[in-house]
Amino acid sequence: MHTIVKGNIETIDQLSEFIEKLSEQDYQYTGSSLFESSIGQHLRHILDLYMAMMHPLQNGLIDYDVRRRGIPLETDKSVGLLELQQTRNWLETLTEQTLFEPIEVKSEVMLSSTQSIQVTSTLGRELCFTSSHLVHHLAIMAAIARLIGHQVDSAIGQAPTTASFNRSQQA
């Protein structure tokens, strides 16, 4: 299994373990002026990125502009955990050849108007981005959980480079 895939699986597993410890109420919590989105909404966002890679459009295009807002995944923890497991299962099927074949990617790039661009990438590169983005959102989810009283391990939402730095300081 390629390191890119292993890294994605590590972050998916960390996210799954974090979500499992939450109540449905905590998963849906939006009662703070500090955070406008719930943990479930952050999870939906991350899974939308993976879904774009898992199910590219018929022409092989990864379209990050496709979002599934307002779906049960945002409010039903069991749906989120199921999609995380499905994503993990898909990751385990990827071959090194698949990771480095060129693929087209579409994404909006403007705040002031609807403007999407299309670029050539690889699935491996997109998985690197998505894993990093997952870590960023997991850090936000951990902050929401702390705000509502959960004890959250400091390693939750920590970037791989930060983890490497911390290991080097312990040596």
Phi, psi for 153 (deg, rounded to 5): -55, 140
* Mean pLDDT confidence for 46-63: 90
Residues 6+ positions from 36 with CB-CB distance below 8 Å:
30
Q: Do the beta carbons of residue 122 and residue 94 sit within 8 Å? A: no
> What is the model's pLDDT at position 35?
86
> What pLDDT sits at residue 4?
96
Q: What is the structure's pLDDT at 12?
A: 97
Tokens 């890119």 found at: 4
Distance from C-alpha of 94 to C-alpha of 99, rounded to nearest angstrom: 7
Contact 56, 103 (CB under 8 A): yes
Q: How many CB atoms lie within 10 A of CB 22?
A: 20
Measure Cα distances from 32 to 29, 90, 145 in Å.
8, 35, 11
Q: Using only C-alpha atoms, what is the Rg of the chain?
A: 17
Third-level CATH fold of 3-162: Four Helix Bundle (Hemerythrin (Met), subunit A) (1.20.120)
Mean pLDDT (whole number) for 93-112: 94
Q: What is the mean pLDDT of residues 101-118?
A: 93
| pLDDT 10s digits, 147-160 | 999 999 988 988 88
pLDDT (mean) for 60-81: 94
Statement: residue 53 has pLDDT above 90: yes
Q: Which residues, 6 or more positions from 109, have their beta carbon under 8 angstroms from its beta carbon?
A: 115, 116, 117
| Domain-wise residue ranges, the chain | 3-162
What digits encode the pLDDT tens for the residues 7-31?
999 999 999 999 999 999 999 999 8
Greatest mean pLDDT range, 78-82, 110-114, 160-164: 78-82
